[in-house]
Structure 1
Amino acid sequence: MQGGSMDDGARRLCAGLELIAWLASARDALDAFTPEDASFHAELFLGAERRLSLEHDASTGVSTLNQGESAEATARVGASTGQGVLTVPMDDVGGLSRLLEQATRLATPGRALVLPSLPTEDVEPPTGPAALQPEAARRRMAHVIQSVIPKGIVVQAAVLTQSSTWRAAVRANGMRRARTEWREDLFVRCETPRGAVVDAVSLPPGTDDTVFNPLRLRLAEAVDALSGPVEPVDPSLPLVLRPAVAAPLVAGLIWLLRGDIAAATPALARAAGRKVFPSLLTVVDDPNASAGTRRVDVDDEGVPTAALPLVEEGRLQSFLHAADTAARLGAPLNGRGFRSASGVPTPEAVNPFLVPAAALALPAHHTELVARVETFTTMSRPGVITLVAGGWEVRDGHRVRRVAPVELELPVLETFRALRGVGSDLTFFPTAEGCGTPTLVFPPLLATRPGEQAGR
């Protein structure tokens, strides 16, 4: 079982709700739903969550623990002429019929309501979200502060979060699909002489403290790169982006491969099936990726997830789709419809990553960027990633000098069209929407004219 142990009776209760009774109430409310417009269809989506946040205070050395539970229900009602959506917090199993009526009154003209079919499940749904693990959280936080953070470095923030969720999509006539998900992530923000570095690690169920080893190495390398004397970067050298620097760029590519972005960008949608990138670029979203940050069997619309090729040897294969975007682009469903704050499913990747190569031949002379300095945003304009990163100038395989942190402003599509090399060191980053990437090699991307921003 994911998460902590809990007897079945306690697990059934979350935010004061008995979840199996709530599920039955949803079926009853939908069976009784009789709108004036007989063409209307309806769906109820139920969500319950246990959450934990453990925050370390560097000034006192004390970590503060907060826990909570919540539950909310979303009603979606509509037909071919439009739909109404309403999400409300819940504290009892009743009120779902009233929620359906309110959503009906809110229905406005627009895109048709698209509800993918759900099977009538023969198996019993999960009774509720797993228990949180506060003691394990405290032990892991202590281990990180004592053994993972580089000595002498100021920790501005260290936060461990746990989220245990139970979700169910319900339709009339007993159709339903329920799932649970467990997520645990640890984020750290460390100060260096040239700015703050933020990094994180995902903690799958059953993991041990060895999961922190890559984080320890990345933080030590970032501190080394951002401390000591520096010299200006040589803009004529190829760029080697180590995973911590490349991750936001890959996250930008995944954002462009969402079905809602493609639907709003006709030129991008028309590129499906065409080779638009170099052959060495392959991108996959795999819910079963062993090092990924999530484990999801079905999306929030009840559609099963499976490994999804997005780009295959440079050819744009598919987009991430919720039912709505799949219908708009005439594409098959692929199980990437997840609920946003508005309650409407939108496309979202699960464990997207750029497929690593078996080996990487680096240019003899290059700029190696290993550490990303924290900025307020990485996508100041749609489709353009802005990074500030530091590292080294490398000559004949040796780091010969540190380079001052440099700003790169990279148009995502154009940058990946210039990709020259892919490494074997695949790493997933909770700080970059859970994206995974190995080292990436590009031609010189830095500006050569005074006053021009990098990467333009």
Structure 2
Amino acid sequence: MPLTSGEPPGASGGEARGVLDALAEAARARLEAFSREHAGSRAELFLSEGRRLTLEYEASTGAFTLNQGGSLLAAARVWQGERSGFATLPVSGPEELSRVLTAAARRMSAGPAVSPLGPPVPDASSPLSFPELSAQRARERAEHLLGTVIPPGRVVQAALFAQSAARTVLVRGDGGLAHGGSSREEAFVRCETSRGAIVDAVASPLGASWPLESLRARLAEGVEALEGPAEAVDVNLPLVLRPAVAVPLVEALLWLLRGDGGASLPALVRAVGKKPFPSVLSVQDDPLHPLGTQQLAIDDEGVPVRALRLIEEGRLLGFLHSVGTAARLGVEPNGRGLRLEGTPPAPGPVNFFVVPRGDALPERYTELVARVETFTTMPRPGMVSLVAGGWEVHAGRRVRRVAPVDLSLPMPETFRTLQGVGMDLTFFPTAGGCGAPTLVFPPLLRG
């Protein structure tokens, strides 16, 4: 397949490391000067260098279009009394750091300001280097994936392959400093069926292997479920949602268990330590899960990332927290303060998943295995909407295909009806990296 070029490549790994290290050294001096000029204030600078390479597959020509580039950003947070401010700007050198701090100071306003809780945990490791982003490797991986996972007779409508890497340095006015970094390689594939498109993906840290057999099996099962004669669903049967259909519900549960989401739901906050969910439901967020698509040692606020048990056999234990959301709820931060480009830290997951159990399935049930692509699965907070197809199953045997059904499910009410959890945990880049096993529910389609 031919390869056409977009933007020219960015700086090499060594050059990028030099730029970021020079910024970090200059940041300490800029923060000291800022503190002298603004008595009683506190400040920090978050410096990030990112690289990204993408290959976009053109179905009409069979060619790949290459784009490669990068970014260098500085984000400043400042506090003074009950006022705080935030600003982020692209930078090209140390002389521009003062501009970012000044912009944050000008934007200070009253509100729920949260000052840093001391310096970051000391980082004894040396600054990280950028892994190589290779167009040749990306093309080889893309061609292998397309030749391996696409069901026979199916046409790929769209595909995107991406490699990315980032280095970060958090510098605080009190001298604290923490290095961070991450890398990722992912692929998104869209296949058309007569009843709608299926979109699926794989992701892993850069250089690790992709679970292609799992992706191939999901695409093949999705095509089989959405092609051929189909009948209306029996609304009186229990629902068994296989991972590809269950994961939007898990992603909605993630929204409820973020510190900012939880803080907006007083009833859920009051339920901490109680049992608002059935005993079959346990939820974790684990940076070291072997099937997870992400790895993280410290968050973007310098707090160590550790495995969290958020729901234990139906009992709510807590939420994902940044420093800010933890302070608002009067608890300790737990290393989930993450920054999207150009935003302040907010609670986010690393590898969020429902813990598998292996519960028995009903004798008869509707099994939904394939989700049809829609523009959104959460049209309003707390409500999951999706379209999915599958089979009616009797005694473990698929007896008839059912036409795709519309599901509109409120959270957390739907999880309160959960009756069983399977063993087939799968993580999905298309759902924020969340992991879902099979979920078993009572009849949810009546009426």
| Equivalent residue number for residue 373 of structure 2 | 374
Distance 1:58 1:153 in 2: 12
Distance 2:424 2:411 in 1: 21
Distance apart, 1:161 and its partner CA: 1.2
| Equivalent residue number for residue 182 of structure 1 | 183
Distance apart, 1:91 and its partner CA: 1.3
User: Where does the alignment leave 5 or more consecutive residues of structure 2 unmatched?
Assistant: 1-10
Distance apart, 1:206 and its partner CA: 4.0
Classify the secondary structure of the residue corresponding to 2:275: coil
Change (3 A) 1:54 1:122: closer
| Equivalent residue number for residue 6 of structure 1 | none
Change (3 A) 1:364 1:127: closer
| Equivalent residue number for residue 271 of structure 1 | 271
Distance 2:339 2:120 in 1: 20
Question: After superposition, where does 1:272-351 map in structure 2 within 5 Å?
Answer: 272-351=272-351
Alpha-carbon contact 1:408-1:446 (below 8 Å) kept: yes
Distance 2:123 2:432 in 1: 34
Deviations 1:170-205 (A, max 9, x none): 112431011110111111010001000000011334
Classify the secondary structure of the residue corresponding to 2:267: helix
Deviations 1:232-255 (A, max 9, x none): 000000000000000010000011
| Equivalent residue number for residue 383 of structure 1 | 382
Question: After superposition, where does 1:426-437 map in structure 2 within 5 Å?
Answer: 426-437=425-436
Greater shift, 326-335 or 29-38, is seen at: 29-38
Distance 1:205 1:184 in 2: 5
| Equivalent residue number for residue 86 of structure 2 | 85
Kindly provide the amino acid, as one letter, of the partner of residue 379 in structure 1: M
Change (3 A) 1:95 1:17: farther
Alpha-carbon contact 1:188-1:199 (below 8 Å) kept: yes
Greater shift, 72-81 or 308-317, is seen at: 72-81
Q: How many residues align?
A: 437
How high is the sequence identity, in percent, across the aligned residues? 54
Distance apart, 1:272 and its partner CA: 1.0
Q: CA RMSD in A?
A: 1.6
Change (3 A) 1:173 1:125: farther
Classify the secondary structure of the residue corresponding to 2:386: strand
Alpha-carbon contact 2:310-2:317 (below 8 Å) kept: yes
Distance apart, 1:294 and its partner CA: 0.3
Alpha-carbon contact 1:48-1:129 (below 8 Å) kept: no
| Equivalent residue number for residue 43 of structure 1 | 44
Kindly provide the amino acid, as one letter, of the partner of residue 257 in structure 2: L
Classify the secondary structure of the residue corresponding to 2:94: coil
| Equivalent residue number for residue 208 of structure 2 | 207
- 1:104 equivalent to 2:117? Answer no
| Equivalent residue number for residue 157 of structure 1 | 158
Distance 1:216 1:277 in 2: 34
Classify the secondary structure of the residue corresponding to 1:213: helix
Deviations 1:198-240 (A, max 9, x none): 000113344336x201000000000000000000000000000
Change (3 A) 1:391 1:171: same
- 1:446 equivalent to 2:434? Answer no
Distance 1:208 1:340 in 2: 26
Classify the secondary structure of the residue corresponding to 1:321: coil
Deviations 1:145-188 (A, max 9, x none): 21211121121111111110001111124310111101111110
Distance 1:375 1:120 in 2: 43
Classify the secondary structure of the residue corresponding to 1:413: coil
Change (3 A) 1:258 1:120: closer
| Equivalent residue number for residue 406 of structure 2 | 407
| Equivalent residue number for residue 170 of structure 2 | 169
Alpha-carbon contact 1:73-1:87 (below 8 Å) kept: yes
Alpha-carbon contact 1:12-1:127 (below 8 Å) kept: no
Alpha-carbon contact 1:154-1:190 (below 8 Å) kept: yes
Distance 1:304 1:46 in 2: 18
Distance 1:442 1:129 in 2: 45
Classify the secondary structure of the residue corresponding to 1:360: coil
Distance apart, 1:13 and its partner CA: 2.2
Change (3 A) 1:254 1:61: same
Distance apart, 1:262 and its partner CA: 1.3
Classify the secondary structure of the residue corresponding to 1:369: strand
Distance 2:310 2:291 in 1: 19
| Equivalent residue number for residue 20 of structure 2 | 19
Deviations 1:363-402 (A, max 9, x none): 1110000000000100011101001000000112110110
Distance 1:415 1:365 in 2: 20
Distance 1:122 1:399 in 2: 55
Distance apart, 1:341 and its partner CA: 4.0
User: Where does the alignment leave 5 or more consecutive residues of structure 1 unmatched?
Assistant: 1-8, 449-456
| Equivalent residue number for residue 68 of structure 2 | 67
Alpha-carbon contact 1:429-1:436 (below 8 Å) kept: yes
| Equivalent residue number for residue 225 of structure 1 | 225
Distance 2:182 2:205 in 1: 11
Deviations 1:87-133 (A, max 9, x none): 00011222212321221122111112321322473625424432212
Greater shift, 79-88 or 186-195, is seen at: 79-88
- TM-score, L = length of structure 2: 0.95
Distance 1:11 1:270 in 2: 48
Distance apart, 1:264 and its partner CA: 1.5
- 1:143 equivalent to 2:144? Answer yes
Kindly provide the amino acid, as one letter, of the partner of residue 434 in structure 1: G
Change (3 A) 1:230 1:122: closer
Kindly provide the amino acid, as one letter, of the partner of residue 413 in structure 1: P
Change (3 A) 1:244 1:322: same
- TM-score, L = length of structure 1: 0.93
| Equivalent residue number for residue 28 of structure 1 | 29
Distance apart, 1:444 and its partner CA: 0.2
